Chain A
Amino acid sequence: MAVFGTEVDRPLYGRGPSPGLRFTIYALLSVVLMYYDQHGQWEQRLRFALQAAAYPVQVAVNSPSSAWRTLTSRFEGQAELRAENELLRARERELELQVMRASALEQENAELRQLRDGLPPLIKSWQLAEVINVETNPLRQRIVINKGTRDGVHVNQAVVDGSGVLGQVARVGPWSAEVILVTDPEHAIPVAVVRNALRSIAIGSGNSGELLLPYLAVNSDVKGGDLLVSSGLGGVFPAGLPVARISGVRRESNQLLAQVRAQPLAHVDHDREVILLQFEPSHPDAPAPNPPIAPVPAAPAKPPPKIPDGEQ
């Protein structure tokens, strides 16, 4: 039996289409796929199905390391657990104090904005997802998580960890989703410096410990240690989520732009669990959905109103 044309005795030439013809067919098929991946709609469904098919492999690839983690956590000693518990309790107390202060500030903020009632919480809901595959190389900084459309995950959903913005969902399958990290060279996030509200864009460097801010003028007011938060532009992240801290600024007198680098606050390369956020759309800080960039239609979108025929 031949598995997809794998016959030992098949002559290279003579029977069936020649290799050149078959290559042309496959090449055309690839080009059609690429075209529709760039422009089409039905491709989404094909992607979705392929994402689902890839899921078992991703889980299998990750299973040795996750099995090891399960094993080590099972044999963790009581003393270690107690120490960890102690640490978590201290952290919780700290956070409680912060929250107490934060709710007072929120109330004050609402009054300043002359809102009669307090604002709804910005984060409507969140869910935890486990990282099942990591890709951190200079070309791609992505993670795959074990939540998909069945858990309500959608493309462009914001992903954070306990310390800052991690990235956004790039593709979803039924049970898994691919998250593009802020450090991916194809990712850009609109940010603002907390100290002076200076806005810019932070671009991934391909290195999991670094973001680049290439669009700041030489004389712009940034310095090492400045905290960057998301600015709320761009329609994915709300205003005010911590993103990164400036780690270095280099100004050269013969260049118009400063070379600014920042270190992401999220633990980009060793997160095992991430948080998917869902925002309350009525909150003023929530990301405003971007109007989709549609090509300008050649013909008017709406048919011109019909002039009712007069009765004759």
Chain B
Amino acid sequence: MSDRHLGVTIYLTAIIALVLTVLPLPTWFAIVRPQFLVLTVLYWSTMRPRSGGLFLGWSSGLALDVFQGPLLGEHALALAFTTYLAIRLNLLVRAKPLFEQSLFVFAALMGYEFLLWVIDGWSGHPLSTPARWVHTLTGGLIWPLVVGVMGRFDDSR
């Protein structure tokens, strides 16, 4: 697969994930909805650490900020950090079976949400409902599915 093809695929999947993230859903579905865009970024940065890169993470975070951030740059920072971790640890994570990968993803999502929570608190938008943490759990649970679906797009693997 050519560079160009892969680049287009990466940004296309990111846009689809963004649409899934902002799609209006009834309250309870919205709570358990995983952060699709974060999962997509995690996939590309662990499976193809040289292709997506930090720019993908940062720009996806910025997109999330525009749609649902109280503060511009908040999701960008959190997602850039998560992407950085995923890129550094990609060899470690990729070698593990899917179940253990799910645990890593859960931990990454917890870190991501924790950063958001801290920034929310500092900037004066403190929201401490337990509901904000639910997506970390569902995100970890659907990780095997994400790998399966994204593997279809990522045809050289």
Residue numbers of A with Cβ under 8 A of B are: 1-12, 19-20, 22-23, 26-27, 29-34, 36-38, 43, 46-47, 50-51, 53-54, 57-58, 60-62, 65, 133-140, 185-186, 206-208, 269
Q: B96 at interface (Cβ–Cβ under 8 A)? A: no
Interface size class of B (residues with CB under 8 A): 35 or more
The answer on a CB contact under 8 Å between B127 and A38 is no
- B residues near A32, Cβ cutoff 8 Å: 73
- A residues near B55, Cβ cutoff 8 Å: 4-5, 26
The answer on a CB contact under 8 Å between B66 and A30 is no
Closest to B125 in A: A186
Q: B38 at interface (Cβ–Cβ under 8 A)? A: no
The answer on a CB contact under 8 Å between B7 and A3 is yes
The answer on a CB contact under 8 Å between B72 and A33 is yes
Q: How far is the CA of A209 from the CA of B29 in the complex (A)?
A: 17
Per-residue interface assignment for chain B, residues 22 to 44, with 1 indicating a CB less than 8 Å from any chain A CB and 0 otherwise: 11101100110000000000000
- B residues near A22, Cβ cutoff 8 Å: 53-54
Given A135-B24, A206-B129, CB of A8 within 8 Å of CB of B73: no
- B residues near A26, Cβ cutoff 8 Å: 54-55, 57-58, 76-77, 80
Residue numbers of B with Cβ under 8 A of A are: 1, 3-4, 6-8, 10-11, 18-19, 22-24, 26-27, 30-31, 48-59, 61, 66-68, 70-74, 76-77, 80-81, 83-84, 87-88, 119, 123, 125, 127, 129, 131-132
- B residues near A6, Cβ cutoff 8 Å: 3, 6-7, 10, 51-53, 56
The answer on a CB contact under 8 Å between B8 and A50 is no
- A residues near B77, Cβ cutoff 8 Å: 26-27, 30-31, 34
Closest to B48 in A: A8
Q: How far is the CA of A65 from the CA of B51 in the complex (A)?
A: 36
Specify the main secondary structure of chain B where it touches its partner.
helix
What's the count of A-B pairs with C-beta under 8 Å? 148
- A residues near B66, Cβ cutoff 8 Å: 50-51, 53-54
- A residues near B119, Cβ cutoff 8 Å: 34
Given A4-B7, A34-B72, CB of A10 within 8 Å of CB of B50: yes
20 example contacts (A-B, Cβ-Cβ < 8 A) are as follows A1-B3, A7-B51, A8-B3, A9-B50, A19-B84, A22-B53, A23-B81, A23-B83, A26-B55, A26-B76, A33-B73, A33-B76, A34-B73, A51-B66, A62-B24, A133-B24, A136-B27, A137-B30, A138-B129, A269-B27
Q: How far is the CA of A29 from the CA of B61 in the complex (A)?
A: 12
Given A33-B72, A38-B71, CB of A2 within 8 Å of CB of B3: yes
In the complex, how many angstroms separate the beta carbon of B9 from the nearest chain A beta carbon? 9
The answer on a CB contact under 8 Å between B123 and A38 is yes
In the complex, how many angstroms separate the beta carbon of A46 from the nearest chain B beta carbon? 7
- A residues near B22, Cβ cutoff 8 Å: 57-58, 61, 133, 135
Other than the given A29-B76, A139-B132, 11 more pairs (CB < 8 A) read A1-B7, A5-B53, A10-B50, A19-B54, A26-B58, A29-B58, A34-B123, A36-B72, A47-B72, A58-B22, A207-B27
Q: How far is the CA of A57 from the CA of B6 in the complex (A)?
A: 23
Q: How far is the CA of A51 from the CA of B61 in the complex (A)?
A: 15
The answer on a CB contact under 8 Å between B123 and A61 is no
Among A133, A135, A207, contact of B30 (Cβ-Cβ < 8 Å): A135
Given A12-B87, A50-B66, CB of A136 within 8 Å of CB of B30: yes
Q: How far is the CA of A12 from the CA of B6 in the complex (A)?
A: 17
Q: How far is the CA of A110 from the CA of B27 in the complex (A)?
A: 46
The answer on a CB contact under 8 Å between A30 and B58 is yes
Closest to A185 in B: B127
